[in-house]
Amino acid sequence: MLRLAAFAVTSALATAAAGPLPPLPLGQLLAPPDRLTMTMADTGNRQLDREYRLECGPAGGDHPEAEGACARLDQFAREGRDPFAPVPADQICTKQYGGPATARVTGTWNGHKVNATFRRTDGCEIKRWDELEPLLPSGRS
């Protein structure tokens, strides 16, 4: 009995000397998988004008390029960039028109709610859309 008590005291002292354990990364462990819905319209390609579902981690859903889309989103996360952020109001954009296509993206990405709209109405918006390929298919061949 004395040996057991000595072991318990020694273990407690060793634990105290080592300091507290670092916290577990619960935010990462409990983060939901990326789940997005893209609604495309007026692309000029009737096959693209529909709703797509995408899930990442692992890649799934009915998105035609789920693995590529998830890889592109992973790249944004590694770079610390938000692909769903709007164009800054003070951004100077070229006056060009890329067509009437629109896309709405909703869901969750990288632990954040997403509710973004994309258009091809000027150079900045075209670039913003194109940077998300293949998440937002352009239909270009």
- Evaluate the omega torsion of the peptide bond into residue 20 and state whether it is cis, within 30 degrees of 0: no
Write down the pLDDT at residue 140.
Answer: 52
pLDDT of 32: 72
Q: What CATH code would you report for 32-83+94-141?
A: 3.30.350.10
Counting every residue, how long is the chain? 141
Domain segments of the chain as ranges? 32-83+94-141
Q: Which residues of the chain have pLDDT under 50?
A: 2-16, 21-28, 141
Question: Which pLDDT belongs to residue 20?
Answer: 53
Structural tokens at position 65: 């390029």
Give the predicted TM-score (pTM) of the model. Answer: 0.74
Report pLDDT for 137. Answer: 77
